[in-house]
Amino acid sequence: MTNPIHNFTARLPGIVYGGDYNPDQWTRETWLEDAALMRQAGVRLVSVGVFSWSSLEPADGQLDFGWLDEVMDILHDHGISVNLSTPNAAPPPWLATEHPEVLPTNKEGRKIAIGSRAHFCPSSTVYRERSQKIARALAKRYGNHPALAMWHIGNEYHTQCFCDQCGARFRDWLRDRHGSLDALNEHWGTTFWSQRYSDWSQVDLPKPVMGNVNPARELDFKRFSSDLLLGCFREERDIMRAITPDIPVLTNFMRFFTGADYTRWAREEDAVALDIYPNPADAESHITAAFNYDLMRSLKGGQPWLMMEQASSAVSQWPLNLVKKPGRMRLGSFQAIAHGADAVMFFQWRASRYGQEKFHSAMLPHSGTDTRTWQEVVDLGQELTQLEEIAGTTAEAAVAIVWDWENWWAMEGVAHPTKLSYVDIVTRHFTPLWRRNIATDVITLDADMSGYRLIVIPNSYVLSEAQTEQLNAYVRSGGHVLISFFSGVVDEHDRVIPGGYPGGLLSLIGGRVREFSPLPSDERVRVDMRGSETDAGLWQDDLVTDGATVLATYTDGYLEGEAAILRHGLGDGVVTYLGTQLSETGMDRMLDTVLADAQVAAVLETPAGVEAVERHGPEGSYLFLLNHGQHSAEITVPPGAAELLSGRVAVVAGDTLTLEPAAVAVLKRDRQPVADSRA
Beta-carbon contacts of 114 under 8 Å, excluding residues fewer than 6 positions away, are: 91, 93, 96, 97, 103
**Short-list 341, 382, 398, 386, CA closest to 615:** 341
284 a catalytic residue = no
Contact between residue 410 and residue 460 where contact means Cβ atoms under 8 Å apart: no
Contact between residue 568 and residue 577 where contact means Cβ atoms under 8 Å apart: yes
Cα 510 from chain centroid?
A: 33
Contact between residue 251 and residue 269 where contact means Cβ atoms under 8 Å apart: yes
Looking at the chain, the number of H-run helices and the number of E-run strands are 18, 27
Q: Is 314 helix (H, G, I), strand (E, B) or coil?
A: coil
Q: What kind and span of H or E run contains 364?
A: none
Widest Cα–Cα separation across the chain? 78
User: Phi and psi (nearest 5°) for 585?
Assistant: -65, -45
**Short-list 143, 147, 153, 154, CA closest to 70:** 147
Tell me the CB-side half-sphere exposure of residue 43, using CA atoms within 13 A. 31
Between the alpha carbon of residue 17 and those of residues 82, 251, 324, 385, 665, the distances in Å are 12, 17, 19, 9, 19
* Catalytic one of 57, 156, 269, 492: 156
Q: Is 574 helix (H, G, I), strand (E, B) or coil?
A: strand
Within 498-619, strands assigned E span: 511-518, 524-529, 532-545, 549-554, 563-570, 573-578, 580-582, 610-617
Distance CA 10, CA 4 (A): 8
156 a catalytic residue = yes
* Catalytic one of 57, 236, 269, 309: 309
User: Phi and psi (nearest 5°) for 374?
Assistant: -60, -45
Quick count: other Cβ atoms within 10 Å of Cβ 11?
Answer: 17
Could you list the active site residues? 156, 309
